[in-house]
Chain A
Amino acid sequence: AQSVTQLGSHVSVSEGALVLLRCNYSSSVPPYLFWYVQYPNQGLQLLLKYTTGATLVKGINGFEAEFKKSETSFHLTKPSAHMSDAAEYFCAVFISGSARQLTFGSGTQLTVLP
């Protein structure tokens, strides 16, 4: 069965500091990986996705993530945090085959301190 683990349910950074949100997945076949952001009382908005090709993917709002197969990881980073980045972030995995589910991690709440 596929699964997604997000380490750290809450992360706090200072404005201007590096943002690092961790995501690990389990899959026996190559996955498709996504990061979504959720603002209060809103649905989920796609930040970026990895399907095939380049392992470093860039998304909106200055975020990027690197797919590392050997580590089964897809960590999300941003060089310099902005107050507007405060939100909940979800990693998700989609695996082709019979299951074909889009499975989400438990989320990481990012707080940006002034």
Chain B
Amino acid sequence: EAGVAQSPRYKIIEKRQSVAFWCNPISGHATLYWYQQILGQGPKLLIQFQNNGVVDDSQLPKDRFSAERLKGVDSTLKIQPAKLEDSAVYLCASRVARMNTEAFFGQGTRLTVV
């Protein structure tokens, strides 16, 4: 079974530029998460999708971050414009929409804003 795929693995941009990350979840996983992991901290949930609908985006900085999951499969996370404090690893995870199941994580995208 293929895992969660993310691209790119690494990205370096200047502040005020825009950037997009892509995630392809495990086939059949209805729930998709985007997490932000700042160095030395635990992952922080940015947004959660159930199929193509948003379940929770309460911690997403909506003035600069946006995410979509068209057709309930692939998802993209965009930052525009980027700030220095956005430097982090962005993790995508997916899970089957049953209560007792775990989330499977991709390898993440490491973003450096200079």
Contact = CB atoms under 8 A, between A and B. Distances in A.
B14 interface: no
Contact of B42 (A32, A52, A104): A104
Interface string B94-114: 010001101111111010000
Contacts of A49: 100, 102
B50 to A, nearest CB: 9
Interface residues on A, range: 20 to 34
B105 to A, nearest CB: 4
Nearest to A109: B40
Interface of B: 4, 33, 35, 40-45, 48, 55-56, 91, 93, 95, 99-100, 102-108, 110
A57 B103 CA distance: 18
A106 interface: yes
Interface of A: 4, 6, 9, 32, 34, 36, 41-46, 49, 51-52, 90, 94, 96, 99-107
Contacts of A99: 56
A93 B35 CA distance: 15
Given A43-B106, A44-B91, A101-B56, A51 B43 contact: no
B108 to A, nearest CB: 5
A67 to B, nearest CB: 13
Contact of A106 (B35, B42, B107): B42
Given A42-B107, A43-B106, A52-B100, A102 B33 contact: yes
B99 A96 contact: yes
Contacts of A42: 107-108
A90 B42 contact: yes
B40 to A, nearest CB: 8
Contacts of B40: 9, 107
A15 to B, nearest CB: 25
Contacts of A34: 102
Contacts of B43: 44, 90, 104
A77 B100 CA distance: 22
